[in-house]
Structure 1
Amino acid sequence: MKSVNLPICYMLMCFGNALSQHVTEVDISSCSLTCGQRQTGAVPSVAGRPGKRGAKGNKGDVGNKGGKGDQCICEIEDAREIVEIKTQMAALHPECHQTRFYLPRKTQTSDYFRIKTALPELHDFTVCTRIKGSGTNGKVDGTVISYAVGAKYNRILLIADSQNVIGVNINDQYGQVTNIMQNGVEYHACFTRSIAPRSVKWYVNGVMKKDLTSSYSQYEPIPAGGVFILGQDQDASAGGFDSTQAFAGEFQNPTVWSRALSDTEISILSDSKCSCIPDAVVLEATPDAVQLEGAAALLLPDDCF
């Protein structure tokens, strides 16, 4: 198990010493990062593409024509530097928590994020996150969100499979939608559940794509006190992972509300990463609330748009 502080070095990928510069569109594909040996072992290298600033990539400085071979080397020895980086993250847009996480490997069970925040009992709720699957071919595949309570492992489950289907599982009841999300493309995905009146809706990029209400015969509350994981499907509490159901790629701003957001509110969230709806938030994946496992990494958030 890693602490949040260990993978913080990934946030410096392709940024060199210019921490104050906010760089967009950093693609993790061709620029390696080495963080060296730590007390918990070596951190796997992660790749990234030179960005759009500077004349030429040099030790992580990004540039229009920077070559692929430049190595971005990060060595954070002083905890004060880590605090400084977190402070810079928080100052980017203090009105909203901006977070970005990365899972580099697909067919494994060791990489995932566990949210340490305890969810209350949920009657109505909304779950939203930005996701970007790794790869250049095919659709997003794998488990996005898994919430298990005791021996009930599918209290909330959002999973995409190889059959071009996304499953929205609520209290062991299963609704499904056609998967339109391509790997390598960022999407804002949400689903809402209301008990009275009964309603379950699925949204992509701010637009309601399917009303799933009829897929659920029971509208019971989601119990409190469970385990909330990003990137793996729980078939046992905090475990029982299947490598074929693992997710690889990025998550941004995963959030849970204890009410069903309106169509307008979800559209606002989709339109800008800086937007937030603070009313009734019960879970936010802020850096201090996330336990990183395996090669899971915390990245510097993208600029807002």
Structure 2
Amino acid sequence: MTALFVALLFIFASGSGKVARASGAKGSRFVCTAVPAGTDLNCPVDTNNRVQSTSPLEEELRNTIIQLRETILQQKETIVSQQGTIKELNSKLTRCEADAKSRSNARRKDYSKNTMGDLPRDPAETVEQLGKTMQSLKDRLGNLEQQLRTNASGGPFPNELKDLLKHRLSDLEGQLLTRVAELEEEKSQLYNETATHRQRTENTLKSLLERITELEKSNSAFKSPEDFKVSLPLRTNYLYGRIKKNLPEMYAFTVCMWLKSSSSPGIGTPFSYGVPGQANEIVLIEWGNNPIELLVNDKVAQLPLSVSDGRWHHICITWTTRDGSWEAYQDGERLGTGENLAPWHPIKPGGVIILGQEQDIVGGRFDATQAFVGELSHFNMWDRVLRPIDISAMANCSTYMPGNVVPWVDANVEVFGGATKEALEICEDRLFDS
């Protein structure tokens, strides 16, 4: 810009006669005279400080100089403004890249989770969104280049600034292309992680299906869902069965089952029902040399039953909250009755029924000395007191009545710790024992 101004001064000086001819030289040459800053170019003076007259050519050149100066000042302001815009765009691009990297790390962390069914989203969405942002920045930079190609008056912009801008745009384009390449690589990695996650999920599902198939095959030995028994051959604190059904609140109940045990002293705990706050809500137990006991809400009644001879026996216990009345049946015959066993206490819902163990907390903390040793089958529960004729019919194998609260079916019973479920036709097996 300074060189342009000096050249214009040279033109002005040569047109107005503001030059000195060098003496003693061949021909003529012009010597430029420096003009101090702030000198009024509209009022040229001679060596005697007299105002010189101006010609039309001088006036035209003077106006041209003034216009060029204004144009240069406007261009300078435009350069400063556009440089600020470029810095702002660079700052936004840097934040965009940092945000994209942060989201990518968070997305990669989420994909490392191994949860079934929780498949990650398609990472192409992230790449597509960043691509749109980058294209927008590139378009804005292109518009900026177009604006900088012309000045405020429509004239050409200096070549030096054009070259600088082109170089800067080339650098930004290279950075964008590099970033897109990185995102494409990351996209490929995310797809691979997704495929790996999907493969693990499919393998897990395949294993579950195989396990279900095995269980179906193992259960195919049962002629009907109720023709099986649970075997608990050892007195331990880890062999037991569990009923999957939940009990409602009850004001009466009847529990019936077939038992076979020769363990001594005492057969242990054929079943127990515990609820939060009361592990002994309902318990049937023969422990040590004590008789068989029925516990309701931790209250005890002794039952006149004897089933430790190694044969199958049909046992039924009834209870009602009214006066706490109870009855005990063995092989269809009522052997004992009583009252005042937890009277007016409703059986609480939301508990756990365990076969073969006495619960000290709901569903656990078993004591091996109280474990049932033997086999049991047809554990059924009703929310009412059954008639003696119905109990006798089940004991004589003349009828079968599944419990309306807990029916004895294969799907309702699971075993743990080495306890097993085996096929059994109870009435045929009972006749063989007799």
Shorter-normalised TM-score: what interval?
Answer: 0.5 to 0.7
Per-residue deviation, 1:81: 6.0
Measured after TM superposition, the shift of residue 254 of structure 1 is 0.4
Contact 1:126–1:190 (CA<8 Å) still a contact in 2?
yes
2:57 aligns to what? none
Separation of aligned partners in 1, 2:379 and 2:425: 14
Q: CA deviation at 1:122?
A: 1.2
SS in 1 for 2:334: strand
Residue matched to 2:197: none
2:390 aligns with: 265
Q: Is the 8 A contact 1:149 1:223 kept in 2?
A: yes
Flag the structure with higher strand content. 1
Give the match's secondary structure for 2:292: strand
**Alignment TM-score, normalising by the size of structure 1:** 0.66
Which amino acid in 2 is paired with 1:276? Y
Please name the residue that 1:99 is paired with: 228
Tell me the CA shift for residue 190 of structure 1: 0.9
Does residue 1:223 correspond to 2:348, yes or no?
yes
Q: Deviation of residue 78 (structure 1)? A: 8.0
Quick check: 1:231–1:247 contact (8 Å CA) kept in 2? Answer: yes
Q: Alpha-carbon deviations, 1:7-29, whole Å to 9, x = none? A: xxxxxxxxxxxxxxxxxxxxxxx
In percent, how many aligned pairs have the same letter?
A: 32
SS of equivalent residue, structure 1 residue 105: coil
Work out the CA distance in 1 between the residues paired with 2:233 and 2:266: 14
Shift of 1:304: 3.1
Map of 1:180-219 to 2, 5 A cutoff? 180-196=306-322, 199-214=325-340, 216-219=341-344
Partner of 1:168: 294
Q: Does residue 130 of the first structure (1) align with residue 258 of the second (2)?
A: yes
Structure 2 SS opposite 1:251 = strand
Unaligned 5+ segments in structure 2 are 1-209, 429-434
* Distance of 2:409 and 2:223 partners within structure 1: 10
Q: How far, CA to CA, are the matches of 1:197 and 1:176 in structure 2?
A: 17
Structure 1 residues without counterparts, runs of 5 or longer: 1-76
Q: Which amino acid aligns with 2:240?
A: Y
Written as runs of structure 1 = structure 2, the 5 A alignment for 1:1-305 is 80=213, 82-91=215-224, 97-106=226-235, 108-135=236-263, 138=264, 140-196=266-322, 199-214=325-340, 216-272=341-397, 275-278=399-402, 281-302=404-425, 304-305=427-428
Q: Once the 2 structures are TM-superposed, how far is the Cα of residue 285 of structure 1 from its aligned partner?
A: 3.5
Structure 2 counterpart of 1:24: none
Mapped to 2, the partners of 1:235 and 1:186 lie a distance apart of 28
C-alpha separation between the residues in 2 aligned to 1:139 and 1:202? 21
Deviation at 1:218, TM superposition (A): 1.9
Q: Distance in 2 between matches of 1:293 and 1:87?
A: 20
Note if contact 1:202-1:212 (Cα within 8 Å) is conserved in structure 2. no
Does the CA-based 8 Å contact 1:133-1:140 persist in structure 2?
A: no
Give the conservation status (yes or no) of the 8 Å contact 1:139–1:180: no
Query: What is the distance in 2 between the residues matched to 1:237 and 1:285?
Result: 22
Aligned partner of 1:98: which letter? D
Count of residue correspondences: 219
CA distance in 2, matches of 1:149, 1:87: 34
- Contact 2:313/2:331, CA 8 A, preserved across alignment: yes
User: SS in structure 1 opposite 2:414?
Assistant: strand
Cα distance in structure 1, aligned partners of 2:324 and 2:361: 29
Counterpart CA distance in 2 for 1:79 and 1:134 is 35
Distance 1:303 1:256 in 2: 18
**Shift in Å, 1:84:** 4.5
Q: Which has the higher helix share?
A: 2
Q: Separation in 2 of the partners of 1:99 and 1:183? A: 21
Query: Using the alignment, how far apart are the partners of 1:139 and 1:196 within structure 2?
Result: 34
**Cα displacement (A) at 1:196:** 4.2
Deviation per CA, 1:189-211: give whole Å up to 9, x if none. Answer: 11001234752101111111110
Q: Deviations over 1:34-53 (max 9, x none)?
A: xxxxxxxxxxxxxxxxxxxx
SS of 2:327's equivalent in the other structure is strand
Distance apart, 1:104 and its partner CA = 1.3
Report the TM-score when normalising by structure 2. Answer: 0.47
- Asked which structure has the greater RCO (Cα within 8 Å, sep 6+), the reply is 1
